[in-house]
Each structure stands twice: as C-alpha cells, then as structure tokens.
Structure 1
Amino acid sequence: MSDLHLLHVDDEDDIREVAAYALEIDPAIRLASASSGAEALAKLGSGLRPDVILLDVMMPGMDGPSTLDRLRQIDGLQTTPVIFMTARVQAEERDRYATLGAIGVINKPFDPMALAADVRALLAAGRHD
C-alpha cells in the first residue's frame, strides 16, 4: 500500500484530534491538518500537495464549499480529490456536493475505526483512470 498524503480541514479541535488518531492508525497515511478554510488555503498556497482533502462542510468564515471553490484556483489542485465531512447528508445535499466536485461524503459522526478505509474506498470509487 503506497503512502497517502491527506489534508484534513475542520474547525473543531476535538474532531481534528479524533480524525488524526483514526487516520494515523493507517501507517501509510501522512496527515496534515488545518483548523479553517483560510488556514488550508494558506498551506496549499505554500506548496502543500495532498493526494486527497477531507473537508468539513460547516465552518465559520469560509465553509467547505467556498474553500473547495478557492482551492480549485490554485495551480496543481484543480483535480485533487475532495471528500466532504458533514452531518447534513440528505440526498439533495449529497447531490449538491457532487456537483461542486466532491468525490464523496463521510457522515458525521464518523466511525474512527473505519475512517481511513472509508477515505480509501471513496478514492478508489472516484478514480476513473
């Protein structure tokens, strides 16, 4: 299994902590995290190039969809897979996230023991190469 570079963006410290613990169970995941869309964009603008971005939908200031829109304007990130994390998972919302370019949605609260596998499954399903 090859290394997977992942950026997790969530404004809640406890969610970032649980997700970090859950993701780092997988020794092939290299994790970076950000506490806001602005922090994520700063890291990405400084050259961070993750293989996938796990992005909270509801954040103060700049929400997940706005962050996704802005990161798509950064050279080299136009096709980086993005997975939204949210408690709002009705069908019409999932459709909207797909329209925005997300390859999938992980429900909150998430299962920490399955998070890494869920990310890998969405990446595998989202690949069309």
Structure 2
Amino acid sequence: MNDDKPRVLIVDDERSNISLLGNLLSPDCEVVVATDGESALRRAAAEARPDIILLDVMMPGMDGYQVCRQLKESDLTRDIPVIFITAMGEEDDEALGLRIGAVDYVTKPFSPAILKMRIRTHVELKRLRDHWQRLSTVDALTQVANRRCFDEALETAWRTTMRNEQTLALIMIDVDHFKAYNDHHGHAAGDVCLRRLAQVLGREVKRAGDLFARFGGEEFVCLMPDADLVGAETVGRRMCAAVAELAIQHDHPAVQATVSISLGLAVLAPNKRTNPTDLIVEADRRLYDAKRGGRNRISAAFVGAPGG
C-alpha cells in the first residue's frame, strides 16, 4: 500500500466484532468506527473520507444492504469500495451484496491474513482509480483543473443554484497580448508564464465551493456558486493585483510592459429558460468589453434574477 495508512471505516453494531477487526487492522490502518447505518453514512461522507468500508449486513434499523445502496447513490461516497463482512453465507446473500455495489463479500469466520490481503488489494485499486481520475481532470501544463473538470462543475453548480434559487458567477480571464509574448519570448517562456499565472490566480480563489480552471490556451475561468456581483468583483480585483505583483516582463516592441490580464465577469440566476452556455456567453461578452476598453481591467454585469 501507499506509505499513508489507509482509512478504514468499520460498520458493525457488535462491539466484539469492532474490537476484533480494529485490533487486526490498526497496526497498518487508520480505523474509524460506526455502530449503525445513519452514523456510517455521515462518517463516509465526512471531509476525511474512508479509503474502504467494512460493512456488516445484520444491523438494527438500517441494514447493511440499505447502507450500501445509499453509499452508491451519493456522489460523495459512490467510489468508496465496500466489503461486506457477515455470517450470512448463502450464495443469494453474496450475489445481492455484489449486485448493489460491494466489491467483495467475506463470510465469518474469516482468515485474518486473507482479509488483510483483500483490503490491501481494494485500497490499491481505489488509489489507482483516484490517480487516473485526477489526471483526467487536471491540466497537464498548469496543474489546475482542466476544461473537462470545469464543464462538469458548471453542470452541477447550475442544477444546485437553480434548485436553491441562488446566483452563479463566472469570471473569464484572458492573458493580454499573449500571442505577442510567445512570438517574442518563445513558447517555452510562454509555458512558464502560464504556469506562474495559474499558481497566483488559483490562490485568490479561497471559498471551498469555487473552482479555478484552465479554459483553453491562455484563458482561465473561475466558477463561483452563490456569489453576488460585489463578491465576484472582489476576487477579480485580487487576481489583477496578484498578476501585477508578479511583474513578468513583456518585451515585445508593441507592448513593452508587464504581463496583465483582462477579466469578463457575469452573474446569473439559473432558471428553466436558461442554460449553462448562457453564463459562458455573457462572461465572454464582458471579457470582449474589457479587451475593447483597453485591457488590464474587469468588465462585469449582473444578468439575471432568481425565478426571472
């Protein structure tokens, strides 16, 4: 396994079973415990999520099958592997457990060595999947979220803010005169410039629910659910100031300045007559206005109201 100890959530209403599994796994794992279905779901969805869940079937109230179904229905927990550990050894029981999403089914009494090997295997597979998932959503050059990640986040944020009757803000960021920068300084220097900009711009996105991503080429975006015009503009001004502090020299004869950015900002309240593309179009219009107005500035607009 990784050098980091895997976090294992043990779900069982019998203290003796918890003690047995805890003693077996604690030397190699960080063990978290839940004694009923409701607390298991809460701990599984916590900020520090488990790498794997060992789940008993027979529990009072919500049984293990119900817990597993709910885990697999949630975006937060569906990718956490579940191993059923139970005295119910009938073939139909095992088939049901695997059908509803468990990765393994271990009947009691079990071999401690075999159980540890199975846990190790499933944790390693999960970490490998997480690694590949991260690669698929991170921009290779700048190491911030990529366009695919942004598109998925926009769809999710759109549905959430529409359901909650909230606003959704989008900042589109373009590096001024970037083609001229590449032509004069070279593409390798251009890549370094983009990486430095992505680093400082991303640091100005401080709320947990906001997303900073590379949109494409020299364009970046910042998606801000439940943000108003004033709050989004504040972030935009911080971004402009952070880029100015970098003082990256732009020595093209037609520019002769430091690298700057232009920002287009739109705030919209999603409703059934609009779609996510509308927000991108509005932010792009504001970006065009900022460019036309002289660059190195913000153009912002509020373009909708809840239920409008």
Secondary structure of the structure 2 residue equivalent to 1:50: coil
1:114 CA displacement: 4.2
Equivalent in the alignment of 1:43: 43
Q: How many residues align?
A: 126
Equivalent in the alignment of 1:6: 8
How far apart, CA to CA, are the structure 2 residues paired with 1:124 and 1:32?
Answer: 15
Does structure 2 retain, via aligned residues, the 8 Å contact 1:52–1:82?
yes
Structure with the greater alpha carbon radius of gyration: 2
The two structures have a TM-score, normalised by structure 2, of 0.38
Identity %: 34
Equivalent in the alignment of 1:31: 31
In structure 1, give the amino acid aligned to 2:21.
Answer: A
Distance 1:45 1:4, change over 3 A: closer
How far apart, CA to CA, are the structure 2 residues paired with 1:126 and 1:37?
Answer: 25
Distance 1:84 1:16, change over 3 A: same
Divergent runs of 4+, >4 A: 124-129
Name which of 19, 22, 36 aligns with 1:20. Answer: 22
Equivalent in the alignment of 1:109: 109
In structure 2, give the amino acid aligned to 1:9.
Answer: V
Equivalent in the alignment of 1:98: 98
1:118 CA displacement: 3.0
Tell me whether 40-49 or 12-21 shows the greater mean CA deviation.
40-49
How far apart, CA to CA, are the structure 1 residues paired with 2:113 and 2:20?
Answer: 10
Indicate the structure with greater helix content. 2
In structure 1, give the amino acid aligned to 2:116.
Answer: A
The two structures have a TM-score, normalised by structure 1, of 0.83
User: RCO (CA 8 Å, sep 6+): is it higher in 1 or 2?
Assistant: 1
Give unpaired runs (5+ residues) of structure 2: 130-308
